Amino acid sequence: MNIHEIPFEDILQESVRVHGHLCPGQVLGVRLALLGLRLIGIKDPRGSERKKFMVFVEIDRCATDAIQSVTGASLGKRSLKFYDYGIMAATFLNLETGKAFRVLAREEAREKARKYFPHLSDRYRQQLEAYRVMSEEELFEVQEVEVQVSEFDLPGRPRRRVRCEACGCWVQDGRDREIGGRVLCPPCAEGGYFRVRRKLEQIPG
């Protein structure tokens, strides 16, 4: 099915269902995703072409849920990669052609939304409605980019699996580190986001 032939509101409503509520970020994210797919020549992202592309998102906000909903890309399929840059942007890569485009939301679109719907006093509603009708040029900046993807980041089965010599955890996809001749997981090598207080002998019921 050609996603570019599906009515925009139908795609948006599915994204809202996945995300949980309608917001300007959903409208913006759906439009960003549709543009990104079109730029790399993907028409059937959830079907016949689901293994032909990857998406790199740069922020953990509402628009990212929309991008995932539209493209079908996900962390579990290894077709979605997250870089915590805090930037409302995403890069779309065609794995067959190597073509890649980074799409960034324009900050000035927030103010332009007021001009489209000045009769709406609520800025939230102004953006919600304006993002539906504003041109792609008003909403987004597009950069043609190069993306080098490691074999360890490609979709498919793990290409490497080793055991950390400190904690015993198994580490996949080349994320292990070698320090002082020992193979370590990232938390043991560099410190993690957590600190182990104790190991439970029994799992509470």
- 130 and 165 part of one domain: no
- Give the pLDDT of residue 19: 96
- Give the pLDDT of residue 120: 86
Element (H, E) at 55: strand 53-57
Global pTM reads 0.93
pLDDT tens per residue, the chain (205 residues)? 899 999 999 999 999 999 999 999 999 999 999 999 999 999 999 999 999 999 999 999 999 999 999 999 999 999 999 999 999 999 999 999 999 999 999 999 998 998 898 888 888 999 999 999 999 999 999 999 999 999 999 999 999 999 999 999 999 999 999 999 999 999 999 999 999 999 999 999 8
Distances (CA, A) of 7 to 25, 43, 157, 166, 205: 18, 14, 35, 54, 48
Domain count, the chain: 2
- Give the pLDDT of residue 143: 98
- 64 and 103 part of one domain: yes
- 73 and 102 part of one domain: yes
- 69 and 144 part of one domain: yes
Indicate the Cα dihedral angle 55, 60, 66, 70, nearest 10°.
20
The whole domain housing 79 covers 3-151
- 96 and 178 part of one domain: no
- Give the pLDDT of residue 172: 97
- 128 and 195 part of one domain: no
- Give the pLDDT of residue 144: 98
- 7 and 85 part of one domain: yes
- 147 and 183 part of one domain: no
Name the residue type at position 180: G
